[in-house]
Amino acid sequence: MGGVGSGRLKHPPKVKEMLKNILPLEEIFEVDELEMYHNLVDVYLKDFEESSLTSGDMDDIMDLAKNRVLEFRLLKNSKGSPNKQIDLSNAMEKIQKNNKILKENLSTRRKDRLNNTEMRGFSIVDLAVAFDADKKLVLLDKANKLKEKEQEMLERRKGFEGNKNDV
């Protein structure tokens, strides 16, 4: 069953390459639409580190760019025709809702990745230790200042013997 070549690719194609070259986009889009799609993909990919993108991110970016191009196509085809514009308003609303969901998905996954990598292994104990360390530094600083003042006072009192009524 599992022989040579089975399993995951050792060097899978990069997300940008998948989104732009491997998919048969020429069969879906006209030349001007294809250029728009590529530009949109470039813009969306700038928000992410390519190494951290998942297949879900790739699908969402592809769908977002595709929806934008289709939205443009619908608007372009209805130009100058109020009847067509009314007919496509429902389709446009669905595309815009879908785009909103796609953006939220991308944003949520991005936030999860950022938060997980920054705070991995971070707990309340770490906060308590950091607080104690800060508090300890403040107290040590205060103690050192008091010792310096004490030394100054002792230096000023050298040779002072007091009076006959001192205990």
Band of pLDDT at residue 77, cut at 50, 70 and 90: confident
Band of pLDDT at residue 148, cut at 50, 70 and 90: very high
Q: What is the pLDDT of residue 39?
A: 92
Q: What is the pLDDT of residue 68?
A: 92
* Separation CA 40–CA 62 (nearest Å): 9
Question: Taken in order 101, 105, 110, 111, is the CA torsion positive or negative?
Answer: positive
* Separation CA 122–CA 146 (nearest Å): 36
Band of pLDDT at residue 12, cut at 50, 70 and 90: low
CA distances from 109 to 55, 126, 141, 166 (A): 12, 26, 44, 77
